[in-house]
Structure 1
Amino acid sequence: MSWQQRIDQALDARRAARALRTRTALHGLPAGRIGYQGRRWLNFSGNDYLGLSHHPAVIRGWQQGADEYGVGSAGSGHVTGYAPAHQQLEAELAQWLGYPRALLFISGFAANQAVIHALMAKDDRILADRLAHASLLEAAALSPAGLRRFTHNDPASLGRLLEKPLSGQQLVITEGVFSMDGDQAPLAEIARHSQRPDTLLMIDDAHGAGATGPQGRGSCALAGIHPDILVVTFGKAFGVSGAAVLCSEALADYLLQFARHLIYSTAMPPAQAVALQAALGVIRSPEGDALRGHLDEHIDYFRAASAGLPLTRGDSHTAIQPLITGDNARALTIAARLRERGLWVTAIRPPTVPPGTARLRITLTAAHTRRDIDTLLEGLAHVCQ
């Protein structure tokens, strides 16, 4: 088989399964809107949970950072790319989340891969939630360590795996809020099972940081736990992009020596770090509390009002509200009909989610209004008829 035949077969299989991924060049707009081909839609597919991507203070921060530092870092942080803006943001994140150190990464995917590849050795074992993010499971599968996956959100399943004999070390991995189902991990119980001399606990709180917990500190603060490694990302509630790993002094120094995704990547632009400081300022402020309160009201309202829809709802009390169609074609059809009504809702299909669980991944934000959500509910009721 030639390379071209292999590629064609793979694409044909995706088309036949109605699972072919495509991209659309969209214009992000404030107030929970999106632009495409001269039209505007209500956007219920983005992760900008607090609406900070268009917040005036965050925009000003990036502009001021560009004036001071230029538009790029021009190097790895280990060469010339580490600026005072990066150092200040790391210090603020560490203080906010209660860790000795924070290290910035260009994305959550890179942060997760870097930690796992740097830490794990041949005789070690990774115990990951079965529905953990692709960045975590891929890094675990490619590492020299063994990988075992525990039943989703089941601490007892994790406990049984932890008891199996091992000559090396163990790393337990889960998420605070799961990106496709919106459900929250039982973090307190998982942390209790992970309190072993040979075990580190790593939590990816991409969808919790900024949007949940006291002062927006995320899922771990809400559960009252302090994992050994906490990953927070900035492309969701922060409204920007990038990520940080929160950890001990010793582990931070270790990652600076051995985390290849950190060492060999150009650092995020310092101007972005200034914008992220502004976003963090909003998240920690009374305004941030008000935005989270507004988002929580939307979540409660949508859950109550959507109970009668002829679609299976997920058990989510977060901004991610999946409606399961099961069938790929049905998910695509409903998404297309919603788009005709001015509602941008993305159909998510395997392999992003397990086979037979295609869905509409609806995301609510503080930038939406009650009328926006009523419009969504009316559209869903109409197209599902």
Structure 2
Amino acid sequence: MRVTELSAALAARRAAGLYRHRHVLDSPQGAEVVVDGRRVVNFCSNDYLGLANHPEVVAAWRRGAEAYGVGSGASHLVCGHLRPHHALEEELAAFTGRDRALVFSTGYQANLGVIGALVTRGGRVFEDRLNHASLLDGARLAGARLRRYPHGDLKVLERWLSRGEEALIATDAVFSMDGDLAPLPQLAELARRHDAWLHVDDAHGFGVLGETGAGTLSHFGLDQTQVPVLMATLGKALGVFGAFVAGSDDLIEWLLQSARTYIYTTALPPALAEAARAARRLVQDEDWRRRHLQALTARFRRGAERFGLPLLPSPTPIQPLIVGDNARALRWSRRLLERGYWVAPIRPPTVPAGSARLRITLSAAHSEEQVDGLLAALAELAA
């Protein structure tokens, strides 16, 4: 794009109903937030367990800052790997049942780093068509031969795989815009038979799924032999920030030695690592949060069925309401905000053309009354 074309490109995006803009919050994350000066019920946050403003997590951050300062000072391999980082990695490894874990500054960096470290230029990467952008970009930046199979279509994937040639299969565990689960047991078996890496991004399952909250792999009973690469984030169910990769001793050592997005970036603030440790303990100890979230999800789906609202078949807190048209998604989102409910409109290219939606996300911080209020407001819009 030339400099002179930028204004026209922005105008075209506005005309197509694809323009994005930011809202300003004047409150912490929670079931209710103050956005653009108004208090509303928040149904678009990924703070699934309501931990982003939990007093114990905030207190852990404060203690960490008092003990270690606010900055790490350098990358992990120079002088930025502090005791809280190390303790967090050990605890995440134990929690997920893996040999070791490695903390990255973001989930985007983690996915780029893993694929770049495990796939040589020209190697083959197979990805679900609905994967997160970071997985797709990881393959492209690694110079891999990327093929995207239709969503959940393992028959197509199996036709493309051939044993003996370098390959990596990457998938979301919980798809962020549809809320459904990847067929991980079947993918694990395919990867085993074809001697391929299996890299699972559990950003939206970690903390939410599994008996202890260890995530989608725990939900399916899959270990590190079946799924060698687990990536998950700390900024969704844990309510903090950052990400980690967990796996075998050799995998983590290889990433430490060769993942460029780990080696060449400043480490997370140590106080943040202390906050993440506190949040992880709450995930494990306060299982009522997951039970309440599951009950709210079931309640919302029953209500949507009663009102004839077209939800996708998601068993997770991500409940997409398909409206199809970009302008309608924007209009419904604005009208909900006027009624005191904040739900983000999701449009292409984040989702396929013609599938614009309201991405409704539930939290353990919500009440039944708040969920029922949203359902009533949605029913009025759809009438």
TM (norm. structure 2) is 0.96
Correspondence 1:259 to 2:262: no
The answer to whether the 8 A contact 1:334-1:384 is kept is no
* Cα separation, 1, equivalents of 2:209 and 2:37: 35
* Residues 248, 326 of structure 1: alpha-carbon distance in 2 compared, 3 angstrom cutoff: same
Aligned counterpart, 1:64: 63
For residue 357 of structure 1, the aligned residue among 338, 350, 355 is: 355
Aligned counterpart, 1:128: 127
Aligned counterpart, 2:214: 217
Q: 1:180: how far off? A: 0.2
More deviation in 306-315 or 69-78? 306-315
Aligned counterpart, 1:79: 78
More deviation in 364-373 or 244-253? 244-253
Aligned counterpart, 2:373: 375
TM (norm. structure 1) is 0.96
* Residues 129, 28 of structure 1: alpha-carbon distance in 2 compared, 3 angstrom cutoff: farther
SS at match of 1:275: helix
The answer to whether the 8 A contact 1:150-1:161 is kept is no
SS at match of 1:66: helix
The answer to whether the 8 A contact 2:205-2:216 is kept is yes
Q: 1:311: how far off? A: 4.2
Q: 1:8: how far off? A: 2.0
What are the Cα deviations for residues 95-116 of structure 1, in whole angstroms up to 9, with x where unaligned?
1111111000111011001111
SS at match of 2:59: helix
* Cα separation, 2, equivalents of 1:120 and 1:257: 15
1:207-286 mapped onto 2 (5 Å cutoff)? 207-226=204-223, 227-285=227-285
* Cα separation, 2, equivalents of 1:205 and 1:317: 15
Q: 1:124: how far off? A: 1.7
* Cα separation, 2, equivalents of 1:197 and 1:18: 43
SS at match of 2:151: coil
Percent of counterpart pairs with the same letter? 47
Aligned counterpart, 2:300: 302
SS at match of 1:177: coil
Correspondence 1:20 to 2:26: no
User: One-letter code of the match for 1:261?
Assistant: T
* Cα separation, 1, equivalents of 2:5 and 2:166: 39
The answer to whether the 8 A contact 1:107-1:243 is kept is yes
* Residues 145, 31 of structure 1: alpha-carbon distance in 2 compared, 3 angstrom cutoff: closer
SS at match of 1:149: strand
* Cα separation, 2, equivalents of 1:336 and 1:180: 20
SS at match of 2:39: strand
The answer to whether the 8 A contact 1:210-1:237 is kept is yes
Q: 1:22: how far off? A: 1.0
Unaligned runs of 5+ in 1: none
User: One-letter code of the match for 1:302?
Assistant: F
More deviation in 135-144 or 206-215? 135-144
For residue 195 of structure 1, the aligned residue among 184, 192, 197 is: 192
The answer to whether the 8 A contact 1:311-1:325 is kept is no
Q: 1:150: how far off? A: 1.5
The answer to whether the 8 A contact 1:231-1:243 is kept is yes
What is the root-mean-square deviation of aligned Cα atoms in Å? 1.4
User: One-letter code of the match for 1:190?
Assistant: L
User: One-letter code of the match for 1:346?
Assistant: A
* Residues 304, 358 of structure 1: alpha-carbon distance in 2 compared, 3 angstrom cutoff: same
User: One-letter code of the match for 1:207?
Assistant: H
For residue 340 of structure 1, the aligned residue among 325, 338, 341 is: 338
User: One-letter code of the match for 1:54?
Assistant: N
Q: 1:197: how far off? A: 6.1
* Cα separation, 2, equivalents of 1:354 and 1:30: 29
SS at match of 1:232: strand
* Cα separation, 2, equivalents of 1:190 and 1:376: 37
* Cα separation, 1, equivalents of 2:358 and 2:252: 39
Correspondence 1:176 to 2:162: no
Unaligned runs of 5+ in 2: none
What are the Cα deviations for residues 149-195 of structure 1, in whole angstroms up to 9, with x where unaligned?
122112222222113x76x4110111110000001111111111110
Correspondence 1:206 to 2:212: no
1:137-152 mapped onto 2 (5 Å cutoff)? 137-152=136-151
SS at match of 1:235: coil
